[in-house]
Structure 1
Amino acid sequence: MAKLLYAFSCSVDGFIAGPGGDMSWLTPYLGPDPLVDALVPEIGALLVGRRTFGGDDPHRGTEGEGKAFGGGWEGPQFVLTHRPAAPVPGVTFVDNLVGAVDAAKAAAGGKYVNVLGADVARQCLEAGVLDEILALPVPVLLGDGVRMFDHPGGRTVGLERVQPNWYRVLR
């Protein structure tokens, strides 16, 4: 059965995007990463938030612009949204979390469903369906932007370390 993985790059101070969803901060840090290179073939589907799907791209201006992992991955994508966009090949718009998770897991087979977007990851955590987290810290401080996890008023989520920067979500 597929597992839901929230794998993301973040600044050392915990931001996955700058103010307004700006991803340009990440562009200078893109490049070969043995952990990412090993993970990509293990991803069977993407579960993507609407803002992430329509948002900024750190690969802007390259041939990988608009493609998952800068063009390093191809496969089914499931976008969680109440506002579907025009049809896109390989992309399915789903208006509820349970339906999106079920469809992405079915499409992924025994591989990972990689979650893209902080709000979708938060919803998956709250619903108890997120299995693992992989944090890829980047040596920069942003000071503001979209946090990798944000829960107003706070919330503790227990994690078990599986390997460096990789955690299993405790339920």
Structure 2
Amino acid sequence: MKASVFVGTSVDGFIARLDGGLDFLERGGSEPHGYEEFIAQVDTIVIGRKTFEFVLSFTPPWPYGTKRVVVLSSTHLNLSTLPGVPKDTVEQMSGPPSEIVARLAASGAQHLYVDGGVTVQRFLSAGLIQNLTITRVPVLIGEGIPLFGSLPTDLLLNHIATRHYPNGLVQSEYEIINPK
């Protein structure tokens, strides 16, 4: 099974403000930068609860279409009536990343999109991410929620490509050489 991260950050490495705000990402504009092509290759989105709740606040339409969405949370979530979300596309799981990946693989998932700061950090720490696509927005915000946290060991990266866009976005794609 393949697990990938596709994320936007400030140049100083923050994925959100301390209050969870993402307004600084708008600095990158709405120019296409590969997200549509990326999401088309994914069959399952694995997302942390806080990020999921933030996504629910987006104006319709639901950004994931009919793709399977797995919300990671140890607290019970009422997922039966989510306005604007296609029925039976969202489910909840909890547990260590390795167990979640094993359960998803057993259910037929083939390519995971891992999203949410803590979720990305946990999956990276467990060695379960194979690809990182990081889009840096041309802004420094000084403090916020960092993309990366502590790791049990170095993760070696193979640089695949770096692209730049007229609006100032710089996107780098990496393959993790030593995942589990």
Q: TM-score, normalised by structure 1?
A: 0.81
Contact 2:27 2:138 in 1 (8 A): no
- Structure 1 or 2, whichever has the larger Rg, is 2
- Taking a change above 3 Å as real, the CA distance of residues 51 and 168 of structure 1, as seen in their structure-2 partners, is same
Count of matched residue pairs: 161
Alignment partners' CA distance in 1, 2:137 and 2:108: 28
Alignment partners' CA distance in 2, 1:99 and 1:157: 21
Deviations, residues 60-81 of structure 1 (Å, cap 9, x unaligned): 4x434xx3xxx26430011111
Matching residue of 2:165: none
Query: Which SS does the other structure have where 2:45 is aligned?
Result: strand
Q: How does 1:63-102 map to 2 (within 5 A)?
A: 63-64=60-61, 67=62, 71=63, 73-88=65-80, 89-96=88-95, 97-102=97-102
Give me the CA root mean square deviation. Answer: 2.5
Quote the offset at 1:22 in angstroms. Answer: 1.2
- Taking a change above 3 Å as real, the CA distance of residues 143 and 157 of structure 1, as seen in their structure-2 partners, is same
Query: Which SS does the other structure have where 1:141 is aligned?
Result: coil
Query: Which SS does the other structure have where 1:20 is aligned?
Result: coil
- The amino acid of 2:48's aligned partner reads G
Quote the offset at 1:54 in angstroms. Answer: 1.7
Gaps (5+ residues) in structure 1? Answer: none
Matching residue of 1:160: 158
- Taking a change above 3 Å as real, the CA distance of residues 74 and 28 of structure 1, as seen in their structure-2 partners, is farther
Contact 1:45 1:108 in 2 (8 A): no
Matching residue of 2:16: 17
Percent same amino acid at aligned positions? 21
Q: TM-score, normalised by structure 2?
A: 0.77
